[in-house]
Amino acid sequence: MLSLVLPERCIHCGRPTVAAERLAFRPPTDSASLKKYLCAVCHAEFDRMPIPDPALLMDRAMPLTSIECITSVRAQVYFIKDSLIQSIVHSFKYGEMPRLVRAAGASVALKALACKNEIDAIIPVPLHRTREAERGFNQSEELAAGIGAGFKIPLLSHKVIRRVRPTRSQAQLTVAERLENVQGAFRRTKRADELLRGKRLLLVDDVLTTGSTISAVASELQLAQPASIQVLVFAVAAA
């Protein structure tokens, strides 16, 4: 009822969201929609954003080229500083909005339906337990949950891989420092080989910058001998 008195505001510009502009006595039932978090102008801007060319993304993320079983890298949008996408991603990480992340995942699923029939299981990049406890959730897992719901494909997260040590924030690190920072940070579980061997996997993360984190996870997963690994992220850093 509070949202009927205090309209929900766009996480980017502060205007009333698309959902808040609906009739007051017809509150939105679609919680898995970005319309709950963006105004009409920002939502229209989001819908117009070009999808990054998958053919170019592998070259952009150099560490990924050494992972033999990675067959594709996809992203929904480009991450640009001080943009609508930065507001969405920062809300992922720091805004305590797991439902927003799931809504973004549902949006990603709609635009990536082409790869649905090429996937057996979805794996989000894991957070270390201390970081997840601080944040209250793993944004990559929530994003993967939204994608999984759209694809109707199961998630395999803690069952197959864990982040076994905390790592520094990657934001201010060089490419070499990023690679060193995540080296040995991920480890397969005892059941991973049984669950992953011969499977076509979708590895999900929120933002792809250099590919160091994704490559560290994929390198560990590759030891379980999956048939293939596709990478899908919400945003990729603009060149």
Q: What is the model's pLDDT at position 169?
A: 79
Phi, psi of 216 (to 5 degrees): -65, -40
Taking only the tens place, the pLDDT of each residue in 32-78 is 489 899 999 999 999 999 999 988 887 777 677 778 899 999 999 99
pLDDT at residue 82, as a whole number? 93
Question: What local confidence, expressed as pLDDT, does residue 5 receive?
Answer: 42
Ranges of residues in the chain whose predicted pLDDT is under 50? 1-6, 23-32
All structural domains of the chain with their residue ranges: 1-48, 50-237
CATH architecture of 50-237: 3-Layer(aba) Sandwich (3.40)
